[in-house]
């Protein structure tokens, strides 16, 4: 038998209590019992998103909410801007294209964050741009984009909204939707929300709801107005993934019990320890600018294929970490520390990384990473 560990940036481990909750007999989604669950979930989602708005719920992976954020906010031929500095930024661009939106990209070198000035410049060059699509945390590169500064630029423009894919940021770092004027914030269930994949969420500002009113792109399942109306009656428009909603109720209780501030602190501390540990081993962070607290992206040592690292660590120690994608494939590996993660997950990941790198012939001082992680987590 081999014990398994999941340290990939989604799906992430699910707390045992939540797994047990989700194994209970299924509740009918039109029964009064379900409405009680949904009422609590709706209230607590507002706490998580730090918003007064209704948080929409869809049964899909996160990309479903991304697609809905194009089809519900724009019309064919509308101008949009996508910040493209990784896989998920590319996805924004591709969804816009699929819906005949006239999309431009602010291209950002992988591993870098976009500069607010570059976004402002693009907006000044094309005043017709109605929507700016961005990731808060670009999971493919491990970078954190300065969404607050970008929101500051967009909030004064009446005809432009900001859509933030916060799938590995919400519940990891402070992202107060209403306070920062983030017009749309979306997330999915399988990352910081510690659930299996299958739910997607989006919350819209009043300004963004105004865009929904004018949108003429085709939509059917991901119809934001329809879902909002149903939620107002403690129902979902269509059959939701009931078990995941039951799990979500428990997750949101636990997040509330810990308190958002503590949740952000915990992620900050795990991220800090992981970064210090890999650097103490002589490795280099892939992220040039501010890294995301959800995961740490690291260059594989000179001459060692990152694919070998992820393969060996899985086969020999039952640990799943992520490799790089596209241009970063074989060159980087990514260790996640989001959601149901604690200090001994970092210790486990670093310890296994040391063992694997040693086996692959990388020269470094054994325990240097562990020592740095322990110092960061537990003090001198």
Ligand X SMILES: *Cc1c(COP(=O)(O)O)cnc(C)c1O
* Residues at the contact surface with ligand X, assessed by CB under 6 A: 10, 61-63, 88, 135, 139, 165, 167-168, 188, 191, 197
How far, in Å, CA of 134 to CA of 115, rounded? 12
Please state the closest distance from residue 93 (CB atom) to ligand X, in A.
13
Least spacing, CB of residue 61 vs ligand X, in Å:
3
Q: Which is nearer to ligand X, 87 or 308 (CB)?
A: 87
Rounded Cα distance, 270 and 178, in Å: 27
DSSP secondary structure letter of residue 332: E
Distance CA 111, CA 138 (A): 9
The angle at the Cα of 51, spanning 46 to 52, to the nearest 5 degrees, equals: 85
DSSP structural state of residue 291: B
For residues 139 and 274, which CB has a smaller minimum distance to ligand X in the complex?
139
Question: Which residues have a Cβ under 8 Å from the Cβ of 21 and sit 6 or more positions away?
Answer: 246, 247, 249, 250
In the complex, minimum distance from the CB of residue 201 to ligand X, in angstroms, rounded to a whole number: 11
Tokens of 300: 């594989």
Indicate the residue among 168 and 351 with the shorter CB distance to ligand X: 168
Q: How far is the CB of 35 from ligand X (least distance, A)?
A: 27
CB of 321 to ligand X, least distance (A): 15
b/e string for 109-135 if b means 16 or more Cβ within 10 A? Answer: ebbbbbbbeebbebbeeeeebbbbbbb
Residue pointed to by tokens 């209704």: 54
Backbone dihedral angles phi then psi of residue 8, each to the nearest 5 degrees: -100, 155
Q: Is the CB of 201 or the CB of 224 nearer to ligand X? A: 201
Beta-bridge partner residues of 143:
138, 291
Q: Which is nearer to ligand X, 81 or 166 (CB)?
A: 166
Residue number with CB closer to ligand X (202 or 376) = 202
């Amino acid at each position: 038998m081999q014990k398994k560990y999941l340290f990939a940036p989604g799906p992430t481990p699910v707390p045992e209590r939540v797994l047990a909750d989700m194994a209970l007999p299924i509740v009918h989604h039109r029964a009064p019992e379900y409405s009680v669950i949904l009422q609590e979930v709706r209230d607590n989602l507002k706490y998580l998103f730090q918003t007064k708005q209704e948080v929409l719920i869809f049964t899909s992976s996160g990309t479903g909410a991304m697609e809905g954020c194009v089809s519900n906010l724009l019309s064919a031929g509308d101008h949009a801007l996508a910040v493209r500095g990784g896989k998920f930024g590319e996805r924004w661009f591709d969804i816009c294209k699929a819906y005949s939106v006239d999309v431009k990209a602010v291209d950002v070198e992988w591993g870098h964050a976009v500069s607010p000035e570059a976004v402002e410049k693009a907006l000044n060059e094309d005043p017709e741009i109605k929507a700016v699509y961005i990731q808060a945390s670009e999971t493919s590169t491990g970078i954190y984009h300065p969404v607050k500064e970008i929101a500051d630029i967009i909030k004064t423009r009446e005809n432009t909204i900001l859509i933030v894919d916060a799938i590995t940021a919400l519940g990891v770092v402070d992202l107060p939707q209403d306070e920062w004027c983030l017009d749309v914030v979306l997330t999915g269930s399988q990352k910081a929300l510690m659930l299996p994949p299958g739910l997607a969420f989006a919350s819209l500002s009043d300004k963004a709801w105004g865009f929904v009113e004018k949108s003429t792109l085709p939509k059917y399942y991901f119809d934001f107005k329809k879902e909002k109306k149903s939620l107002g009656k403690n129902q979902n428009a269509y059959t939701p993934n009931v078990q995941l909603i039951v799990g979500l109720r428990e997750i949101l209780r636990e997040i509330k019990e810990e308190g958002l501030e503590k949740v952000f602190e915990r992620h900050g501390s795990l991220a800090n320890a992981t970064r210090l540990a890999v650097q103490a081993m002589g490795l280099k962070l892939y992220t040039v600018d501010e890294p995301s607290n959800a995961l740490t992206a690291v260059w594989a040592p000179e001459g060692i294929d990152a694919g070998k690292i992820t393969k060996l660590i899985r086969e020999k120690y039952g640990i799943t970490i992520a490799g790089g994608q596209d241009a970063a494939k074989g060159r980087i590996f990514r260790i996640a520390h989001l959601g149901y993660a604690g200090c001994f997950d970092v210790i486990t990941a670093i310890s296994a990384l040391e063992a694997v790198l040693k086996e692959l012939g990388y020269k470094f001082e054994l325990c240097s990473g562990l020592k740095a992680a322990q110092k960061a987590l537990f003090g001198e």
